Structure 1
Amino acid sequence: YGPKFFRPYQDYQAPVYAIPGNHDWYEDLAGFMRVFCDETGPLPPAPAPRPLTRAWLRSLLWHRPRPGDGERLDEARKLRSSPAQQAVQPGPYWAVDAGPIRIVGIDTGLLGTLDAEQGAWLREVSRDPRPKILVTGSPLYVDGEHHPCPIEGGGTVDGIVRD
């Protein structure tokens, strides 16, 4: 985050809201949550996955936050420390009311899906009558192909957007 976020945006005097991308998930959102959601405590250890599953393979290939990562992020954060630059997101998905529009950021994780809790939240914030802009790491259309973004338990993000 130091060279790719804090340094390039150090002179930008406004808050920045973000959605996690696939690389943020490589460390189970630890860095993302520290930078954008002000999570400073240690993350609880992830439960051990069942052997020979996708989660097990992922645990072997992906890295966890390393000792010292938090301190390095805290040092980089000093580059954007003025009060005008501060924003604390409630989590990896959010809604910001900006006058006549609502900007909605969703976290589609690694698989381009939403869990049931985020799906319920998206339905709720989408009821507001204002026009909305959806910010997502997994677009609904890519190279002319439709990717409706399934929601655990039923429905799709595309269905909510169309409503």
Structure 2
Amino acid sequence: MSTDRSSRYKTPVYKKDQPDDSYKFKPLPGPVGVYPFHLDIKSIIPDIHSEKIIFHMVGDTGSLRNPEFTRLVANAMALQCAESENQPPQFLYHLGDVVYNHGEVTEYDRQFFIPYQQYPAPIFAIPGNHDSDVNPAAVQPYKSLEPFVKVFCSPVQQPVDFSLIKDRPGMTQPNIYWTMETPLATIIGLYTNVPKYGIVTKEQCTWFAEELVTAGKQHPDKMLIVCMHHSPYSADINHSSSIAMIEFLEETFFQTGVRPDAVFSGHVHSYQRFLKTYPDGFTTTYIVAGAGGYDELHPVATLDNPQFSGDHPLFKNVVLANYCDNKHGFLKLVIERKEHGPQLTGEYFSIAHEYTTDKAADAHVVERFSVTPGKKLTYKQTGD
């Protein structure tokens, strides 16, 4: 982990004087499944445990310049699946940026299928900004997210026609934004498009509000988790926090009266864990886990860097609890039913930066944390 932490921010930061790049917005492809775009995990993993589920989570695994870090992270997770003494991780939830720089068909084998060939469990995903972009110089013209949809939003599980690796069939997610239903948690996956700080369409905003209300009725018997690519809160020097995403989330939370227990994101190439405490005492955990393989890591800003500021009304009562910004890594999450209800415990693993290592022992625990559903969570009646 980084040294000299006393000189670094302990809050989120925003990057000053950023240009408006909303012109990069790309139209969304149509859904494969039916509204409201739910996928029951049991349709993919029939024997998933009703009292305890274990899974990996990571973002930004793609890399053009140095795919070795992608391979190391993928191997470490695969070996955890193989070497777990009791219940192994049962799936991977990818937080976006599977393929750099423009989500092209020609890069999926090198950046995804080959590195993850040994990962034995299903892989689900939400798109990142690079998955969604389009290379204007591509030999074969394509539209935004066409390759991603073929890999992750297939109507049926079958080999992906453009991949040489035939033992990982396309995943059957109903849409690029969608909800995973598990016995212990509802996981809502958002799509935040191409611009640097994200954009969410009006239609998706409406869908998200409906999903929060529906999930709120099951809370706290089931945990409520939100996943998105662009990080709402970050203290890094590359992207920093997305004010647009914070405003979008907080407006929807206020509208519905429902807040998630945890929000996971990628986009920023580091690990950061934030805690946001609301006036009613409810705390939401915000975790950035975007160090999945892209060779450039994003360190936490120093207090004397004039490009950044931690002074913003939206950062009130938000603290940076821990971070790892100098090594690649991934999350291993466990949701287990306890006497008081489900509880999420997590471990963030970093990997050694030597290219010769393939052992799971070389993935070191940076920190362990836990999240318990907030008992003060409520939802507004919507006429039902």
Common topology (TM > 0.5): yes
Distance between the aligned counterparts of 1:37 and 1:91, measured in 2? 6
Amino acid aligned to 1:119 = C
Amino acid aligned to 1:156 = F
Amino acid aligned to 2:153 = C
- Secondary structure of the 1:123 match is helix
Q: Does 1:72 align with 2:150?
A: no
CA contact 2:133–2:194 (8 Å) conserved in 1: no
Which residue of the partner structure matches residue 157 of structure 1? 249
2:233 to 141, 146, 150: 141
Which residue of the partner structure matches residue 124 of structure 2? 17
Deviation by residue 1:79-108 (Cα, 9 ceiling, x = unmatched): 414xxxx63111111111122211111110
- Secondary structure of the 2:245 match is coil
Distance between the aligned counterparts of 2:194 and 2:242, measured in 1? 17
Q: Does 1:37 align with 2:164?
A: no
Q: Does 1:106 align with 2:190?
A: yes
* TM-score between both structures, scaled by the size of structure 2: 0.29
1:115 to 173, 192, 201: 201
Question: Max radius of gyration: which structure?
Answer: 2
Which residue of the partner structure matches residue 49 of structure 1? none
Distance between the aligned counterparts of 1:2 and 1:10, measured in 2? 10
Amino acid aligned to 2:177 = Y
Give 1:157 deviation, angstroms.
2.2
CA contact 2:231–2:241 (8 Å) conserved in 1: no
Amino acid aligned to 1:22 = N
Distance between the aligned counterparts of 1:14 and 1:132, measured in 2? 23
Q: Does 1:92 align with 2:176?
A: yes
Give 1:148 deviation, angstroms.
4.2
Distance between the aligned counterparts of 1:30 and 1:139, measured in 2? 24
Residues 1:116 and 1:10: Cα distance change in structure 2 (over 3 Å): same
Give 1:37 deviation, angstroms.
0.7
- Unaligned 5+ residue runs, structure 2? 1-107, 135-143, 259-384
Q: Does 1:124 align with 2:240?
A: no
Deviation by residue 1:10-44 (Cα, 9 ceiling, x = unmatched): 233322111111111123111111111127xxxxx
CA contact 1:22–1:110 (8 Å) conserved in 2: yes
- Secondary structure of the 1:133 match is strand
Distance between the aligned counterparts of 1:145 and 1:29, measured in 2? 25
* TM-score between both structures, scaled by the size of structure 1: 0.64
Give 1:138 deviation, angstroms.
0.6
**How many residues are paired up?**
124
CA contact 1:17–1:36 (8 Å) conserved in 2: yes
Residues 1:145 and 1:80: Cα distance change in structure 2 (over 3 Å): closer
Distance between the aligned counterparts of 2:112 and 2:167, measured in 1? 10
Amino acid aligned to 1:135 = C
Residues 1:119 and 1:108: Cα distance change in structure 2 (over 3 Å): same
